[in-house]
Amino acid sequence: MNDAAIAGRRCLECNAVEQVAGNERVWPLGWQCSACGHPVAQSDGIPMFAPELADTVSGIDPRDFQALSEMEGGHFWFVTRNELIVGLANKYFPQARRLLEIGCGTGAVLRELAASRRWERLVGSELHPAGLTHARKRLPSEVEFVQMDARNIPAAGVFDLAGAFDVIEHIADDVAVLRGLRAAMPAGGGAIVTVPQHPWLWSQADDYAYHERRYRRGELEAKLLRNGFEVLFSSSFTAMLLPLMAASRLSFRGKKTEDQDVHREFKLNPHVNRLFTGILRAEVRMTLAGMNWPAGGSRVVVARAV
C-alpha cells in the first residue's frame, strides 16, 4: 500500500486524486475532476457516483428501508449491535476523527457514532438514495452523505476510521470493498466490520435479505489480512442467543413460507424484546472487556491498516 501519495477525493474516471481542504466536504456538490474535467452527478443534494445502480434491487430491496427505519430504534439486535460498535470504536480507535460508514442505510449506526465524540468529518455512503432519505433526517446537517458503489470508493487516504456493518455479505465481490476501505485510509487507520456468521444458519431470511453468504469463522479475518489489514480483535456476536436463533432459522428450512413468517423474529413481544436486550447487553459488556465468543449469529472484526 502506498500511503505516501496525496490523500483526497479520487476521480473514478481517470483515477486522479485531488487534495481535500480541511474546511470543505470530501465530495462537494458540483465537483468535477481538476485533471480530466469529469463531473459528478448529483440528486437532491447528494453526489451520485453510481447513479445507474441507485434504488435498484441490488444487495437490498430499497422498499425495505421504511420498515427497517421503524424497527431499528427498539429491536434488541440493532440496539445492542450499535452499542457494541460504538464501544469497539472507543476502545480501539479513540483518536479517530474522520469516519466513513459504507452502506449506512437509514443512518441508525451513524447516529450513535456521531453522538459518541467530536468528529472532524462524518460521512455516510449508501448505494440507495432511498436509505439516505431516512439517514438525513436522523443526523445533523454537517454530516456528509454520498451515493456510491462500495466496490469503488472515490477516496484515497482520507479517513482514519471506516465501518461496514452488515453490508459486505450483500456484495458478491466483498474483497473489492475491503480493498477500497484500505485505500481510503492511511496506515494506522481503523476498520470495524460486522457480518452474519455460520453457513449452516442459512435460511429463507438470508434469501429475503439478498445475502451472498454467511461467513465461516476466520473467513473475514483472512480476507482483511490479504488486503492490507492486521486483525486487532475478532469475536462472535449474539452468542448467548445462538440456540434460539438456530432453532428459529432451522425450523423453516425446506418449508415454503410467506415474507411475514420469515420476518417474524423482528416482531417480538415487548417483554421478550426487553429480555433479549438485557441478555445481549451483558454479552456486549463482556465482549468489550475482552471476551472472545467462538460462535454466534454474527461476527465482528476490528482491524488496522498496515
* DSSP secondary structure of 166-189: S-GGG-S-HHHHHHHHHHTS-TT-
Cα four-point dihedral sign 69, 162, 181, 286: negative
Question: Any alpha helices (H) in 101-151, and if so which ranges?
Answer: 108-114, 129-138
pLDDT of residue 265: 60
pLDDT of residue 57: 86
Fold entry, domain 8-305: Rossmann fold (3.40.50)
Predicted TM-score of the model (pTM):
0.94
pLDDT of residue 241: 97
CA distance linking residue 53 with residue 288, whole number of Å: 37
Residue by residue, pLDDT tens for the chain (306 residues) are: 455 468 899 999 999 999 998 889 999 999 999 999 999 999 999 999 999 999 888 878 888 888 888 888 899 999 999 999 999 999 999 999 999 999 999 999 999 999 999 999 999 999 999 999 999 999 999 999 999 999 999 999 999 999 999 999 999 999 999 999 999 999 999 999 999 999 999 998 899 889 999 999 999 999 999 999 999 999 999 999 999 999 988 877 766 655 544 456 667 899 999 999 999 999 999 999 999 999 999 999 999 999
CA distance linking residue 5 with residue 17, whole number of Å: 9
- Domains of the chain, by residue range, sit at 8-305
Q: Terminus-to-terminus CA distance in the chain, angstroms? A: 8
Cell of 105: 442505510
Cell of 216: 465461516
**Is 147 in contact with 50 (CB distance < 8 Å)?**
yes
pLDDT of residue 58: 81
pLDDT of residue 222: 98
pLDDT of residue 61: 85
Cell of 86: 460504538
- Would you say how long the chain is, in residues? 306
